[in-house]
Structure 1
Amino acid sequence: MSDFVPVARPTTVFLSGSAGSGKTTVLRLSHDLKLSTWGRTAAIDTDQLFLMVDPHWDLPYDDARTALALRQAAQLTQSFFSADYENVLIAGNAIHDAIDLNPVIPDLLQLGRVFHLTLDPSEEAILQRTAADADRSPAHLISDLQHQRVKRCPWSAPIDNSTLTPLETLQKIAHLVQAGEGEIHGLV
């Protein structure tokens, strides 16, 4: 039996973290696992939104493209809530910065509660999780983790998911949200 407790208002959770931290793996958990853990939960991977305009990751970082992806994520969130989803997870590497998030926060707050959580596993956990992926440079992964840690804002609730399974990570996300950790009440 699950310890799932429904929330009174729809909930959007921004889930950030470095490459290899487990964001995509959590998003890809089955509908049934999400339902039993946290209720009707939709998942938006911002990487998929970026791939719509840059399928080979050829373009340099662009603030305008990031803003477009986040606006699309906010519109998708509204659609999911209109279809009676209780929670929407929006995950990506580029959602840890107030400059990127502030344009969509007011719209999301009109829809329900908004949270920001950051997956922060150990270097060892990231290297172990990505060891089979030859396309991922260990040096780049560690550099990305260190960069994300430097940029993590105090309004984001960290989750050390070094020893957590993807399901346990989702359970931790649900627990932190129910406890009000990482809640955003206005511009950050």
Structure 2
Amino acid sequence: MSRTVFLSGSAGTGKTTVLRLGHHEKLTTWGLTAAIDLDQLYFMVDPHWDLPYDDARTALVLRQSVSLAESFVEAGYENILIAGNAIHDAVDLNPVIPHFLRLGRVFHFSLDPSEEAVLRRTANDPHRSAPHLTNELHFMRTRLSPWSASIDNSALTPLETLEKIAHLAHTGAGEIHGPLVDS
């Protein structure tokens, strides 16, 4: 049975870095694993990030992730990692949850490293400002939902983060069985 894992967190928490782990690293850690970066799907409709986030565009991107996940499952992939900062909200996820549940088990994890870890990871990126990153991290913490398993990956490498995700999914942490309710 396949597993779909939603991986949420603010900018600089390590979502994309986990997705970019090599095929061999993913295979030996967790089995045949595909990665869907929602930012890449957003780029297809807004390559310069000119548009503000809106519900219709988020819905479009999430529907596309369903199609991609279906293709990966049909090709024999055991795990589908889907990462983005816009997937922490029940309102956005609920329309696609039934589709993913038809593919197999579904999980949600939120990466929540320390502020220091986020700033350290993004220190060499001139496109990321420390105040913006800090504000987004604190905002995302106010949005953590009880249906998401939180992972403090401050001291974890990307591979160790994937290992933690695989372990937690194996234990059933963060598993979604139906519609989500935000608190």
Q: Give me the TM-score of the superposition, normalised by structure 1.
A: 0.95
Q: Which residue of 2 aligns with 1:4?
A: none
Q: Which residue of 2 aligns with 1:6?
A: none
2-structure distance, mates of 1:16, 1:128: 19
Q: Which residue of 2 aligns with 1:17?
A: 9
TM-superposed deviation, 1:12: 0.1
CA RMSD of aligned residues (A): 0.4
User: Does 2:104 correspond to 1:109?
Assistant: no
User: Does 2:70 correspond to 1:66?
Assistant: no
User: Does 2:107 correspond to 1:125?
Assistant: no
* 1:36-84 Cα distance to aligned partner (Å, 9 max, x none): 0000000000000000010000001110000000000011001000000
1-structure distance, mates of 2:4, 2:78: 9
Deviating beyond 6 angstroms after TM superposition, the runs of 4 or more aligned structure 1 residues are none
1-structure distance, mates of 2:153, 2:54: 30
Q: Percent identity?
A: 70
Residue type of the alignment partner of 2:176: I
User: Does 2:32 correspond to 1:37?
Assistant: no
User: Does 2:153 correspond to 1:161?
Assistant: yes
1-structure distance, mates of 2:63, 2:139: 25
User: Does 2:75 correspond to 1:83?
Assistant: yes
* 1:132-153 Cα distance to aligned partner (Å, 9 max, x none): 0111000000000001100111
Residue type of the alignment partner of 1:87: N
2-structure distance, mates of 1:48, 1:67: 15
TM-superposed deviation, 1:128: 0.3
User: Does 2:149 correspond to 1:180?
Assistant: no
TM-superposed deviation, 1:90: 0.2
Q: Give me the TM-score of the superposition, normalised by structure 2.
A: 0.98
Residue type of the alignment partner of 2:86: A
1:40-59 correspondence to structure 2 within 5 Å: 40-59=32-51
Q: Which residue of 2 aligns with 1:94?
A: 86
SS at match of 1:56: coil
1-structure distance, mates of 2:43, 2:84: 12
2-structure distance, mates of 1:72, 1:152: 24
- Report how many residues are paired: 180
2-structure distance, mates of 1:92, 1:164: 19
For structure 1, the residue ranges without an aligned partner over 5 or more in a row are 1-8
Q: Which residue of 2 aligns with 1:138?
A: 130
2-structure distance, mates of 1:25, 1:133: 14
For structure 2, the residue ranges without an aligned partner over 5 or more in a row are none
